[in-house]
């Protein structure tokens, strides 16, 4: 009981530390939000463009989207800092691996299986993954 209470307390502390950073990174600044009038004007201007210009803009948007996806796959930054990853690798090993990898992959499933079978091997594997390998993203 005491061990469970301690873990829950540490988990709450970790969430209290991490959540303000996540919420700040997820919040969109109000100054970048377009007004409805600006959106309506932009749509009207786009509809009035010639067909060739519309096609060229769609092509440029698709190219930019492909470049964004390629950049994301090549050099994606981890979801959380290494300290947070290590804390979660100790408390909830599969979550630590997920935060490190950024996706649910074979390492996550191996760690989940090890954690479900025996907690300590799952924790050790999670620490090896988080501290031993760079994030694949």
For residues 123 and 91, membership in a common domain is answered with yes
My answer on whether 69 and 101 are in the same domain is no
Q: State whether 80 and 137 are in the same domain.
A: yes
Does a structural domain hold residue 88? yes
Could you tell me the end-to-end alpha-carbon distance of the chain, in angstroms, rounded to an integer? 37
Alpha helices, DSSP H, located in 48-104? 51-75, 82-91, 93-101
53: Cα within 13 Å, side-chain hemisphere: 6
Domain-located, residue 11 = no
Do residues 80 and 120 share a domain? yes
pLDDT of 16 over the 90 cut: no
Q: 65 with 84, same domain?
A: no
Whether 136 has a pLDDT exceeding 60, the answer reads no
- Domain assignment present for residue 23? The answer is no
Position 37 confidence tier, pLDDT thresholds 50, 70, 90? confident
d(C-alpha 120, C-alpha 23), whole Å: 32
Under DSSP, the state recorded for 49 is S
pLDDT given at position 28: 43
The residue segments making up the domain with residue 107 are 76-137
- Identify whether 21 is part of a domain: no
Pairwise CA distance, residues 131 & 22, whole Å? 22
Residue 27 has pLDDT above 50, yes or no: no
**pLDDT tens digits for range 88-127:** 999 999 999 988 888 888 999 999 999 999 899 999 999 9
Residue 134 · residue 128 · CB < 8 Å:
no
Give CA–CA dist 77/119, Å, rounded.
28
pLDDT score of 94 = 93
Tell me, yes or no, whether 82 and 98 share the same domain.
yes
pLDDT above 50 for 72:
yes
Task: State yes or no: pLDDT of 22 exceeds 70.
Answer: no
Structural domain tally of the chain? 2
In DSSP notation, 62-76 reads HHHHHHHHHHHHHHP
- On whether residue 8 sits in a domain, the answer given is no
């Amino acid at each position: 009981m005491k061990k469970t209470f301690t873990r829950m307390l540490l988990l709450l502390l970790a969430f209290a530390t991490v959540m303000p950073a996540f919420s700040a990174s997820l919040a969109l600044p109000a100054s970048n939000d377009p007004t409805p009038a600006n959106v309506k004007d932009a749509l009207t201007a786009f509809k009035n463009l010639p067909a060739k210009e519309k096609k060229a803009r769609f092509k440029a948007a698709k190219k930019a989207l492909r470049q964004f996806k390629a950049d994301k796959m090549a050099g994606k930054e981890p979801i959380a800092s290494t300290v947070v990853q290590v804390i979660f690798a100790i408390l909830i090993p599969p979550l630590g691996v997920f935060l490190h990898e950024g996706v649910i992959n074979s390492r996550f499933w191996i760690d989940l299986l090890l954690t479900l079978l025996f907690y300590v091997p799952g924790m050790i594997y999670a620490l090896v993954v988080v501290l031993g390998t760079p994030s694949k993203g």
